[in-house]
Amino acid sequence: MSSRTMADRGTTSPEPMHPERIGNRYGHFAAGGKEFCITDPRTPRPWSNIIANPRMGLAVSQTGSGFTWIDNAQLAVITRWEQDFAGDSSGKFLFVRDTQSGAMWSLSPAPTWPAYDDYACRHGIGFSVFRTEAHGIRAEWTLFCHARSTAELWRVSLTNLTDQPRSLEVCAYLEWCCGVAPSPRREFHKLFIETEFDAERRAVVACNHMWEVPSEERGHWNTAFPFVSGLAATAPIQSAEGDQGAFLGRLGSVRSPLALVEQSWAGRFGRHEDPIAAMRSAVLIPPGKTQDLGYVLAVGRTRTALNDVLGRLTSVEAIDSALDEVKSDWERRLASSRIETPDTALDYLANDWLRYQAISGRIWGRCGYYQQSGAYGFRDQLQDSQIWLGIDPAKCAGQIKLHAGHQFADGSVYHWWHPLSEQGLTTRMTDDLLWLAFVTANYIKETGDVGILDETAAFVDDDRPVRLWDHVMRAFDRVSRRMSPRGLPHIGTGDWNDGLSNVGREEQGESVWLGHFLAGLLADWAELAARTGAQAKAQDFLCRREALVKAINAFGWDGAWYIRATLDDGTRLGAAENEFGRIFLNAQTWAVLHDVAPPERAHQCMQSVRDHLVTEVGPLLLTPAFATPDPRVGYITRYAPGLRENGGVYTHAACWAVAAAAKVGDAELVDRLLESLNPVRRNPERYWAEPYVTPGNIDGPESPYFGRGGWTWYTGSAAWLQRVITDWVLGVRAEWDGLRIAPCLPPHWPFASVKRMYRGAEYEVTIRREAGHPTDAGPRVTLNGESLPDNLVPPPSRSPDVQRVDVIIG
């Protein structure tokens, strides 16, 4: 514990007000958009931050509630948490007690809900900070994950704002889980946890002798949790407690623990208690001075490994150094690709928050406040990994190879699988396996690295490694064996839309959307086959594409839009005769994106999107919503009307609508959709969700809460919205032989710019409107001052290192 004056390093002053601050009544963006500062903790729903490194992570809301995990946010949860969005008062907390007055409060609103004189929660890129003032004490509590070690770090500063010395007691508190969560068997689970107070290391240590993940070798409930956890303090420990009942008191609560007012603690640890970690330290602060302290919540495979992490990090100096490293790492990671537009709020999202959400929440954490997943979705994290293409393409390649290793020899794949246990669900959905082809093609367009096709990976059921090319071909072969007599792909138990879970269970139902998706992949892989000398395969794929496109347009067109699917009994879904689910979004947008729709049909189906699906809060996934469950269709019909896939805005798919609008050159629709999907623009009393990250869904018009957002953080829309903004709205996207420049800016934007990496070089692209340039003409493009014959910018030559591209549009 260290002491300093308020002028010393580490004490920050409030950010000055700005007349054009972007936010709402509960908070605003700060630090150039890299932080969101919440100034009223009573937000409509928890506004959280998902903070992670590649192995360890924490979720924390503006109340201070949340939890910590390692490697898997469902199977390896370190601290217990209750998912209660109304109360949101469960998690890890810091209490302060004034020994002279007896006043007691928490450094975050939960769990004591004090009447602060001042409050702010700053969610940043890689950290969250609670800054509060109460009872003459200014407190700043910073939470973050170490950049590389399996440790969560807390940095605490307490400043005495009065003219009298202050005698305080600071108490850290958490409840151990050390296993699977959410778990309804708390009373059973606690029977296996063992705790210990390590006085030398000022730490409470916990292990669990039973892990609820079954073992093939030892059976159920007969394996230990494979980690040892510990909470350590930098300050000397006055009292420590390992039993919940002893800390809270009989019929007590975490809002006012009995132990905080008692001089001596029972100090119960071992295997027979209700396992928590609570540690109290005395803090004396002279007038005008600041005391610094910290805590380390660390995890190791062994006690020795845990002790090593605690030994390296349990000091204020080490915590400060680690925080600097985390901030600089994120700054570097996000610096390689930036945009600038007239819409500053959109820039904040695209430059920092969407990519942070995709990396920290979806790829590393695989977790959100709404869902503790922990698993890898075969299609999900593959799509998310495209966020790396403009940052570090090797990480996208690594994700591709990881997923190839979770394919079966017959071409089928896990729908999802859990790291640590490697247990998964073998899918009967027909799109999962094809995303390997989709992302691999996009990786090669971005990097030019066809060598990845020669990388090898084994199968789940065959440990002989084969080339990535062969993995992709087996996926194509499996899909080709699942085609209807009409030449359309079978839908199985769902395609991209998991909720269409019974449409094709008997392998008779067809998916028109999957046909669109497959048609584009056949074109891409025909091109790759030709470029790698597989001419026969290239010709085969082109012939298959031609036949598929012909079948879709013969059997999938309904006069004004494409139907979505057919059921096993032949009933059409997404057709004009349907009472519910008359039109689906994806069946229109992918017809455009993958060039299945002829030009007149492309414009017609996008007009149908405008007429039937576009709302003020975004484009609906389908309409009308299913009013009653229909077991022939699947569980999508069991959601209440207007929720999630059943007639809500599903933001993942909504991003594709923006891309399709850009492809047909509908700038007005692009503008309307971008505005509707920008969470910063939403009225928080109607929207409820965080304004700085994307939600998984927004309630549709059949919901009484039309416009309410939900399922934030854990959504594929983050990576897709960032990609759609740069690739389709600003129109700078990688193709086989260069960067295609095809902007479709909102009509009121006079300019935009993009900085991005492409094949080892930095490209600076400036887009300007010029009076007199025909609006229906293509862009005029120059590269390093030289006019180009078209809008394809070639891959970089040896020099210059920075390629400057100027684009004129009408």
Q: pLDDT tens across 196-236, in order?
A: 999 999 999 999 999 999 888 888 899 999 999 999 999 99
Provide the pLDDT confidence category of residue 11 given band limits of 50, 70 and 90.
Answer: very low
Q: State whether the Cα torsion 764-30-140-299 is positive or negative.
A: negative
pLDDT of 214 reads 86
- Residue range 742-754: mean pLDDT, rounded: 97
In this structure, of 322-326, 415-419, 781-785, 798-802, the range with the lowest mean pLDDT score is 798-802
Over residues 296-317, the pLDDT tens digits come to 999 999 999 999 999 999 999 9
Q: Flag whether pLDDT at 13 surpasses 60.
A: no
* 208 sits in which H/E element: strand 203-208
Mean pLDDT of 434-455: 98
What pLDDT band is residue 119 in, cutting at 50, 70 and 90? very high
Residue 752: its pLDDT value, please? 98
Work out the end-to-end distance of the chain between its first and last CA atoms, rounded to an integer number of angstroms.
62
Distance CA 286, CA 292 (A): 13
Q: What is the β-pairing status of strands 289-300 and 151-160?
A: antiparallel
Stronger pLDDT, 244 or 21, i.e. the higher one: 244
What's the gap between Cα 218 and its chain centre? 35
Categorize the per-residue pLDDT at 3 as very low, low, confident or very high, splitting at 50, 70 and 90: low
Q: How confident is the model at residue 452 (pLDDT cuts 50, 70, 90)?
A: very high
pLDDT digits 0-9 by tens, 685-702: 999 999 999 999 999 999
Query: Residue 788 — pLDDT band, cuts 50, 70, 90?
Result: very high
Question: Nearest 5°: phi and psi at 611?
Answer: -70, -35
CB neighbour burial string for 142-169, b if at least 16 within 10 angstroms, e if fewer? bbbbbbebbbbbbbbbbbbeeeeebebb
* Beta-bridge mates of residue 123: 36, 128
Q: Which amino acid does the sequence have at 157?
A: S
Residue with tokens 């900070």: 129
Please give the structure tokens belonging to residue 173: 């508190």
Query: Cβ neighbours of residue 137 under 8 Å, at least 6 residues apart?
Result: 96, 158, 159, 160, 161, 166, 168, 285
The pLDDT value recorded for residue 547 is: 98
Closest CA to 26 of 679, 738, 555: 679
pLDDT reading at 15 higher than 60 = no
* Eight-class DSSP state of 564: -
Sign of CA dihedral 281, 282, 287, 289: negative
DSSP annotation string for 277-292: EEEEEEEEE-TTEEEE
pTM score of the predicted model: 0.96
**What angle, 0 to 180 degrees and rounded to 10, lies between the N-to-C axes of helices 435-447 and 512-531?**
40
Residue 85 has pLDDT above 60, yes or no: yes
pLDDT-based confidence at 73, cuts 50/70/90?
very high
Q: Which pLDDT does position 182 carry in this prediction?
A: 82
Q: pLDDT at position 799, please?
A: 66
Residue 553 clears pLDDT 80, i.e. is over it = yes
For residue 644, what pLDDT is reported?
Answer: 95
Q: How confident is the model at residue 58 (pLDDT cuts 50, 70, 90)?
A: very high
Span 751-755, mean pLDDT? Answer: 98
365 and 58 Cβ atoms separated by less than 8 Å: no
Given a cut of 60, whether residue 7 has pLDDT beyond it is no
pLDDT at 710 (0 to 100): 97
For 202-238, b/e burial (b = at least 16 CB within 10 A) is: bbbbbbbebbbbeeeeeeeeebebbbbbbbbbbbebb
Distance from the Cα of residue 400 to its chain's centroid: 18
Distances (CA, A) of 17 to 21, 30, 38, 139: 8, 10, 14, 21
Whole-number percent of the chain with pLDDT over 70 = 97
For residue 140 the two structure tokens come to 């700043």
Residue of 628, 626, 512, 607 whose CA lies nearest to 567: 512
Phi/psi at 51 (nearest 5 deg)?
Answer: -110, 125
Residues 6 or more apart whose Cβ sits within 8 Å of residue 683: 24, 707
Whether residue 798 has pLDDT greater than 80 = no
The pLDDT assigned to 797 comes to: 83
